[in-house]
Structure 1
Amino acid sequence: MNVESWITVEETPALAAEAMAVIDARLARLTDAERGAFWASIRKAYNTPYNDPEKPAQPKPVEPAPGTIPSAVEIRLPAIDPSIDLPAAALASATLAAEMRAA
């Protein structure tokens, strides 16, 4: 949804500075630390352009040490007795699960 505004992009910084000055005048009763906390909360709440969020550092992928190759995992399935009327996948799965529990 497009938002129409009577404020142009060029006017924004000047209007923002003027608005902050008016608000600061009303906050004159607060200490400097309280005013700083007020503006920090406003910037955090509205995430305005003058408070661009810091982007989190991207994790770097872990690379194997030079000269090493990750070892492959080999899974050996037992021979299936054709006289049993069960799907082969179920038999292999049951055998593999038993071996994993035993390990």
Structure 2
Amino acid sequence: MYDVAILYGRKFGLVDARGIKKSFDDGFAKRYIVFTAFPPMGSAKDLLKEMDYCEIKLTTNPLKDAKKCKKGLNDVYFSQLDEFGERGIDKDVC
């Protein structure tokens, strides 16, 4: 189990929120920090209210700020939102 999972991407949607919830339930990481350029909306925003282990940080440059956050931490999982959870599985060509 990772101490922190740092994820980054332009937008955060319901598929991303469900992927984080499932991975938390499976014991993947203790907490999640998501860097995104746009605020979550709709169902994703509602689901995030239940997920106190997930923190959303709005930024104009998600990758740059995610890398800064990663520097001082140990036992970190670092990934794009597009490659994590259900969205990553959806894009798998196999």
Please give the TM-score of this superposition, normalised by the length of structure 1: 0.20
Higher-Rg structure is 1
Question: 1 or 2 for the larger relative contact order (CA 8 Å, sep ≥6)?
Answer: 2
Higher helix proportion (structure 1 or 2): 1
Per residue, is there more strand in 1 or in 2?
Answer: 2
TM-score, normalised to structure 2, is 0.22
